[in-house]
Structure 1
Amino acid sequence: MALVRAHMGRRETDNRAAEGSTETAADGPGVRRTYPERGGIDVFDSLLVRQPIADGRTGAVRDLLADWAGDSADGDVRTLLPVDGATLVTLFLDDGGFGLTDNAGRDPRRGDAVLWYVEVVDDDAEAWTTPDETIRSASPLFERGLSDLLTGEATVHADGRGDHRYVTHVTNPHRQERYVDAVGRSLVAPVAGDELPIPVAVVSLGVKAGLTSTLVARAVDLVNQLKRFDRVRAWAREETETVEAEAVYTESLLLEEVGDRQVVHYYIETEDMDRLYEAFRESDDWEARLSEWVLRRVLATPETFLDPPLETDCEVLIHAVDPERP
């Protein structure tokens, strides 16, 4: 829920190596992980890849993913996507509504799709210059036949691509130990047809069209400029107290221009959705209250985000994390 508070974070790409990293061997030949020492605000990057499903093959996709997840229940994200720097992957089933503005509903012309949310150490790394190709070449799902069930070109939602603007990416510095306590070491959640052990959601939130959307885009650009200052970066990265209070593991925001308005693509991985909303409502932190005040005035339908429960736009099919992630 830390949309405004977290936005005062930073991009860490140019500073990660200087701040220290750890390396751990990963599954797959030649794959190694180079991680920052801890999480925080804007330490990691994220992207979304939407792969259209061929007409009438949605059931087959669901079955394939469920079978693979059942066979891989002792694995982790390195089993699902053995690519250097991938720390978290959630696979969603999108019925045509992801990325549309509020109340637009499903677009039958788009059809169903597999939506990949991927958290990475650095989205400027070579592998992520062509994320769809990387996913298709690396994930064992495609050896199992997923490629035969997809059609058309993928859509990539990421910073710097088309009309996308980076907002922020927040990670709880203690998320991994909390995750193990809540879920255990089996970090592939085979949730196609089952209940996910922790709440994960992705939603698209329309900003009011016209001047409001223009001002929001300009404000994002301004704050991203401020993030270049060392003092702002040093202060912002450590501002994770509210994230801990809300039991948020991962929170990611990306702004995209869609038609005459901006749309916020929002992803959250949390320990408990009820605790998240309770902590947000009861917090007397000025940043949380400012965040609520701003969102009620800029979102087209703020109640869909600010009034619990938060409903995901897309069904979760598989959720996997790296057990070594900060």
Structure 2
Amino acid sequence: CRRLGAEVVMVYRRTRNEMPAIESEIVEAEEEGVTFRFLAAPAELLRQGDMITGMKCQNMRLGEPDASGRRRPEPVENDFTELAATAVIAAIGQVPCMQGFESLDSGRGWIRADSTGATAKDGVYSGGDALGLSLVTTSIYQGRMAAAAIDAKLRGTPLPVEEKAVIANKFSIYYDHYAASSRNETAALPLAERMADLRREVVATLDERSIIEECARCMSCGLCFDCGNCWNVCGENVMPLKGRLKGDSAALATSDCKGCRHCMDECPCGFIEMIDPATGKYIRASMDDSYLV
């Protein structure tokens, strides 16, 4: 609307800090002249005949945090503001179109599915934003799980058991192993060009060189990438030859290991973990030397 020449006021019942929006999109809207009116919630549309002339807004204040962790907006009693308008557009979120899929509706406008993507209707699987707004990586994962479940169902075999890897934390990564490298940012059109032509794509995608550079920044968190550090520092020669652990998450069990932790401390990606035989607890490298977790 702003790029079409309208004066746009966006009403939001919390403050900018609580907005569940991508920061870059908020900044771009501000740059392009969208006015934000915070701590206000729509209460009534004002009309003259069939025409909307404005909107009455309930002024709000922030209370205690709710289940989302954001401070709950509370109405200020008998405190209203009127905004003039020639059009009012609801922009409170996204939901899937359930036309033709009414039988799969969870009752809240979303499809309900289990961890394999199976819905209440036999033979129908679902994933992605039809289950709830999330990330592309989540959708890819859900598609992979659904494909495995469908394959198992058609073959009449048991569902594959998903391995749960231990998540590498910030203390288990050896940052000095990696060369410092800045993130490749996507380019956006200058403000004047954004406003001049609606047919132009505002935010460009990364080019091939930038994509390759981004992939090279991967730290392979929690997954061996065959650097050979463990083999080099092991004084007891109990580590397998370089290359044996690449992509393999199997535990290494040997009676020759002295438990010096050098391999674990020198592993750049946090792949190697040790277990205290006395307690059965994982041992992890950490900056404060608290190894048992």
- The reply to whether TM is greater than 0.5 is no
Query: Normalized per residue, which structure has more strand?
Result: 1
- Higher relative contact order, chain-length normalized (CA < 8 Å, sep 6+): 1
Q: Greater CA radius of gyration, 1 or 2?
A: 2
For normalisation by structure 2, the TM-score amounts to 0.22
For normalisation by structure 1, the TM-score amounts to 0.20
